[in-house]
Structure 1
């Protein structure tokens, strides 16, 4: 009987040991990314839907979130974005570097929410509001009606919301001009939290860069208008405009400008302009959502034409590019700007009048507009003081073509 007890005990110990061994030798989950191009790709932006991650992990334990490790065990910087604003993250975003034709395999696992590392911030949204420079506070949402420039008790840092990454920055005029301006940067650091608050003038060259664009009554650096028949009508938000941050983090930042009941001739439409800026890119992404748009209305975005430049227009792979290049910065040095539109949505290019119109001195692109799906396009900028490759048009064009090749051949997630 004693021997039987010993055998049973030994069997239980062996079984228990096997179970424990099995628990700790479980095969790790993996996710792969394929670069289908024969070129090096740096800071390739990737977003992975929640459902895709769960399908690989089977489930995500409570109070834990997914993360990825490279072959050395290093955690890849990432962020989780709640795009629907329902308290549950929808997408995991990250940027990866690829060699030509590389298949990159990463371990996919989870980490406790409170243990997520602090990653170096590479994108930023800033909207500072106060009564003067000394009492500005940052807001994540803001509404306006009419023209706030008539109210002396309101001070907008940088005249409205601004956004940046480690390459370039931009700002919106939060008033019926509704133009977009460019901050050329000479540093990879994030600087817009302090720009416009000190003694310096951001229209003059500083240690971080400067405002490099004069917008006037143009569409500036990618602002929106509607072309109804043959008339250009600026989306002003005069009746109502709302700014709202959707996501902000080390990999990408997203915000929306909402214009309800925008008057287009004798009709009114609702417009949502969603802007995304990714780490490592020379511009920003646009998605424009419509409600009430008609067949006579088309979406327009433009590039200011105030200073000497050359105009270029081309189709590369799946995209159309409208480009300007020349000594058109406010520092009177080389600046290239471009609007990149999918071929399926591109209709035509045009040029606004020089004067005697609401929108003037603008090269523009006409795009499809639909109530059923958003219209997407990209605005890119290359200033010679940001990178020496932009000292020539060939260098600027190389960046445009590289961007289009990457957009036309997205990284495959396996």
Structure 2
């Protein structure tokens, strides 16, 4: 049977939807609940209408590709859980597809697929405890964990994506990995505008996401980092051959109001490392002037099934990964 691909252009919004492919991925994962999986998702409303920066009415539909409409911003209620989703058996993440560009963590209490149901009943529900888990990280006005921006040294601040000519995103699901590619055309911070492409890949194992950044021109200040939570100390590690390093935090730094713990880490190649900066709100890794860089980030929630329940086990896991990166240059 030949699959039908629908391409829709509505009010300047380009949408590509392969309904059969999207449905088959979800069905395949659900039919094999004990099998490891990876999953990438993008879901927007259709059948409603724009009223200024708000999308009124409509129902959510999974799609594969989207050019963001000019009206879209934070809390537009247009994209389900406000961005792309990445998930495997152990954890799920979302990256906001608006000026914030932050990465958030969905802590899971089950090892089955949850993202297709998250946010279907509103934009507030996933902030509260559910049978599957919940949003566990309060990113605030930061890049969250492992997202990217540009460090403004004069103002000691990480600049995000407030000025972009247009943004397109695509999600892809493969056998052992799933990923989202995001193209930012005309990203303006200071100096000339540039184009940036990011690729965020989650695998059917472990908790980490690989981030590949490619820019049209070299810039200084390209950075990543971790939201700095009050009273939570930062730890750093360097591999034996000084090829890779990490920054990490661990402790009661969730928004669940429970007796739980969350670990977060960013692994970065030392050949691209310029400096570490602690801004008011972010532990920041600033890269050397570059056109491309790859790194990894992860989160680990203590209430995850068979998860890392202590600070000791969390840092043991990070050190093992650091050793692998030192030997293989990849996880």
**What's the offset of the Cα at 1:151?**
9.1
Corresponding pairs, count: 282
1:315 aligns with 2:238: yes
- Cα distance, 1:225–1:149 mapped onto 2, change above 3 Å: closer
Secondary structure in 1 matching 2:320: helix
Residue 5 of structure 1 is matched in structure 2 by: none
Residue 244 of structure 1 is matched in structure 2 by: 170
- Cα distance, 1:147–1:309 mapped onto 2, change above 3 Å: farther
Secondary structure in 2 matching 1:267: coil
Q: Tell me the TM-score normalized by structure 2.
A: 0.78
Q: 1:287 aligns with which of 192, 199, 212?
A: 212
Q: Following the alignment from structure 1 to structure 2, what is the Cα–Cα distance between the partners of residues 160 and 217? A: 16
Residue 279 of structure 2 is matched in structure 1 by: 352
Q: What is the Cα-based RMSD across aligned positions, in Å?
A: 2.5
Offset from partner CA, 1:95-146 (integer Å, 9 cap, x none):
xxxxxxxxxxxxxxxxxxxxxxx97561111111014686211111111254
Pick the structure with greater CA Rg: 1
8 Å Cα contact 1:123-1:190 kept in structure 2: no
Offset from partner CA, 1:323-354 (integer Å, 9 cap, x none):
1111001124211101100121122211112x
Secondary structure in 2 matching 1:213: coil
1:272 aligns with 2:197: yes
Residue 407 of structure 1 is matched in structure 2 by: 325
**What's the offset of the Cα at 1:406?**
2.0
Residue 385 of structure 1 is matched in structure 2 by: 303
Secondary structure in 2 matching 1:164: strand
8 Å Cα contact 1:316-1:404 kept in structure 2: yes
Q: 2:111 aligns with which of 188, 200, 203?
A: 188
Please identify, of 169-178 and 226-235, the stretch whose mean Cα deviation from structure 2 is larger: 226-235
Q: Following the alignment from structure 2 to structure 1, what is the Cα–Cα distance between the partners of residues 308 and 36? A: 25
Q: Following the alignment from structure 2 to structure 1, what is the Cα–Cα distance between the partners of residues 237 and 82? A: 34
1:234 aligns with 2:159: yes
Q: Which runs of 5+ in 2 are unaligned?
A: 1-30, 49-55
Q: Tell me the TM-score normalized by structure 1.
A: 0.63
Secondary structure in 1 matching 2:312: helix
Q: 1:222 aligns with which of 141, 146, 167?
A: 146
1:143-154 mapped onto 2 (5 Å cutoff): 143-144=67-68, 146=70, 148-149=72-73
- Cα distance, 1:241–1:136 mapped onto 2, change above 3 Å: same
Q: Following the alignment from structure 2 to structure 1, what is the Cα–Cα distance between the partners of residues 66 and 231? A: 37
- Cα distance, 1:197–1:215 mapped onto 2, change above 3 Å: same
Q: Following the alignment from structure 1 to structure 2, what is the Cα–Cα distance between the partners of residues 177 and 337? A: 19
Offset from partner CA, 1:197-255 (integer Å, 9 cap, x none):
0378111121111100111101111121113554545231642211112x313410011
8 Å Cα contact 1:145-1:238 kept in structure 2: no
